[in-house]
């Protein structure tokens, strides 16, 4: 079973590295894995809603679950954009879990924690002033929430019993620092094992220890980052949660450790198999759409539309209009020329994509 998983991972890695649709597959994979991560955690988030929320084109008020899914999406992009070993290093783990900030705050002292909050903001630069302003407002709100959490923790003696903003009840006896330290010890112990087996063991340890009460979804991302750090899947950040959906919950949460590890290996194989099928669909769709470029002017907006369709699970007319800098009527004409399939069929909200 381990050999099967390793073989499929190697084949997928090679396909992504060599394929002209590799970049599109990687970007689409972030969305699919974020939605799958929520599904594994018992929450339903539609991929189309996540795509529109990421583009700041929501058709309805974003839900709490959608906001968390977007955090996962942003975390995946941050991991994928960093060096391969960063996410599973002490610095990366501290940054992704938030404990790096707390250590920095403790080192500077109680009074300096609230002085320069703007320095922690993940400010966005871009050509669109409105999108830039909205992104900066979101970053400010996220920073404010972190400050509120810190105040609440201090007032409760280091732990808060109820965090209304996250809609979860905390266990006052839950020592995240100690559990995270135990998990990092497992991470160091498996360094000499084969990558797939080592990844299975660190995932099983994360599931058993549950270090983060509010960010349990980080476990799947750490596993994907670990495979990338070990060079097993070097071309992209592996979408582990997509395959985990195909494994029964009884196996994933079995009291038997061996069963859980075998479930992980099955999930890895399922993710790789799903990825190879997705690559085939994208390659076929790209070939068909590229034929539409014959005889086109060099200034045509059709190549931009093709690129957007290949890198997003769905596209809407406003998304195409924004990317190609044309009107929505022109965007509809371009989508019609490509012949991509309409996914929603709704009057007020239409979207297209590759199935």
Residue 276 parent element (H or E): helix 257-290
Q: What is the pLDDT of residue 161?
A: 42
User: Which residue, 257, 280, 303, sits at the end of a domain?
Assistant: 280
200 is a domain residue? yes
Residue with tokens 């399939």: 341
My answer on whether 200 and 75 are in the same domain is yes
My answer on whether 212 and 265 are in the same domain is yes
250 is a domain residue? yes
140 is a domain residue? yes
My answer on whether 7 and 110 are in the same domain is yes
CB distance 304 to 292 below 8 Å: no
Q: Which of 241, 212, 215, 237 is nearest to 226 (CA)?
A: 237
What residue numbers bound the domain in which 67 lies? 2-114+192-280
My answer on whether 203 and 149 are in the same domain is no
The rounded distance, in Å, linking the Cα atoms of 90 and 42 is 29
My answer on whether 19 and 96 are in the same domain is yes
Q: What is the pLDDT of residue 3?
A: 77
My answer on whether 88 and 233 are in the same domain is yes
Residue 352 parent element (H or E): strand 352-353
User: Cα-flanking dihedrals φ and ψ of residue 163, to 5°?
Assistant: -110, 100
My answer on whether 106 and 10 are in the same domain is yes
Q: What is the pLDDT of residue 112?
A: 43
My answer on whether 324 and 339 are in the same domain is yes
My answer on whether 13 and 103 are in the same domain is yes
8 is a domain residue? yes
Domain count, the chain: 3
pLDDT by 10s per residue, the chain, length 355: 667 888 899 999 999 999 999 999 999 999 999 999 999 999 999 999 999 999 999 888 899 999 999 999 999 999 999 999 999 999 999 999 987 655 554 444 444 433 344 444 445 555 566 666 667 777 777 766 666 666 555 444 444 444 444 444 566 677 889 999 999 999 999 999 999 999 999 999 999 999 998 899 999 999 999 999 999 999 999 999 999 999 998 998 899 999 999 999 999 999 999 999 999 999 999 999 999 988 888 888 999 999 999 999 999 999 999 999 999 999 999 999 998 888 876 656 788 998 7
My answer on whether 120 and 152 are in the same domain is yes
184 is a domain residue? no
Q: How far is CA 32 from CA 39, 47, 76, in A?
A: 11, 7, 11
We report the CATH number of the domain holding residue 342 as 1.10.10
Q: How far is CA 111 from CA 85, 108, 120, 149, in A?
A: 34, 8, 16, 16
> How many C-beta atoms lie closer than 10 Å to residue 250's C-beta?
9
CB distance 301 to 294 below 8 Å: no
Q: What is the pLDDT of residue 253?
A: 87
224 is a domain residue? yes
My answer on whether 70 and 202 are in the same domain is yes
- Please state whether the predicted TM-score (pTM) of the whole model is above 0.85: no
187 is a domain residue? no
Output the DSSP codes for 18-86. Answer: H-TTHHHHHHHHHHHHHHHHHHHTT----HHHHHHHHTT--SSPPPHHHHHHHHHHHHHHHHHHS-TTT
234 is a domain residue? yes
My answer on whether 100 and 220 are in the same domain is yes
């Amino acid at each position: 079973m381990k050999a099967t998983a390793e073989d499929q991972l190697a084949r997928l890695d090679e396909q992504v590295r060599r394929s002209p649709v590799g970049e599109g597959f990687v970007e689409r994979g972030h969305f699919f894995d974020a939605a799958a991560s929520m599904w594994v955690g018992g929450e339903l988030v539609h991929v189309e809603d996540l795509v529109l929320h990421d583009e700041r084109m929501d058709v309805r008020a974003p839900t709490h679950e959608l906001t968390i899914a977007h955090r996962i999406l942003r975390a995946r992009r941050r991991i994928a954009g960093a060096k391969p070993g960063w996410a599973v290093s002490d610095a990366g783990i501290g940054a992704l879990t938030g404990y790096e900030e707390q250590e920095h705050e403790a080192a500077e002292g109680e009074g300096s924690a609230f002085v320069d909050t703007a320095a922690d903001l993940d400010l966005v630069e871009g050509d669109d002033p409105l999108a830039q302003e909205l992104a900066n407002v979101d970053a400010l709100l996220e920073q404010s929430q972190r400050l509120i959490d810190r105040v609440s923790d201090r007032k409760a003696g280091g732990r808060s019993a109820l965090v209304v903003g996250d809609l979860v009840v905390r266990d006052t006896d839950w020592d995240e620092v100690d559990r995270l330290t135990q998990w990092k010890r497992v991470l160091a112990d498996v360094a000499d094992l084969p990558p797939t087996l080592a990844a299975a063991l660190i995932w099983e340890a994360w599931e058993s220890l549950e270090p983060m009460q509010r960010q349990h979804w980080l476990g799947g991302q750490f596993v994907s980052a670990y495979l990338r750090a070990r060079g097993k899947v070097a071309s992209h950040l592996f979408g582990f949660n997509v395959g985990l959906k195909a494994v029964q919950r009884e196996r994933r949460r079995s009291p038997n450790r061996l069963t859980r590890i075998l479930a992980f290996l099955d999930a890895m194989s399922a993710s790789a198999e799903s990825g190879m099928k997705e690559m085939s669909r994208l390659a076929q769709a790209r070939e068909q759409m590229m034929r539409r470029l014959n005889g086109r002017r060099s200034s045509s907006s059709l190549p931009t539309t093709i690129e957007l369709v290949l890198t997003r699970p769905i596209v809407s007319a406003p998304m195409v209009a924004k990317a190609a800098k044309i009107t929505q009527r022109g965007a509809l004409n371009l989508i019609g020329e490509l012949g991509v399939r309409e996914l929603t069929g709704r009057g007020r909200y239409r979207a297209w994509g590759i199935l």
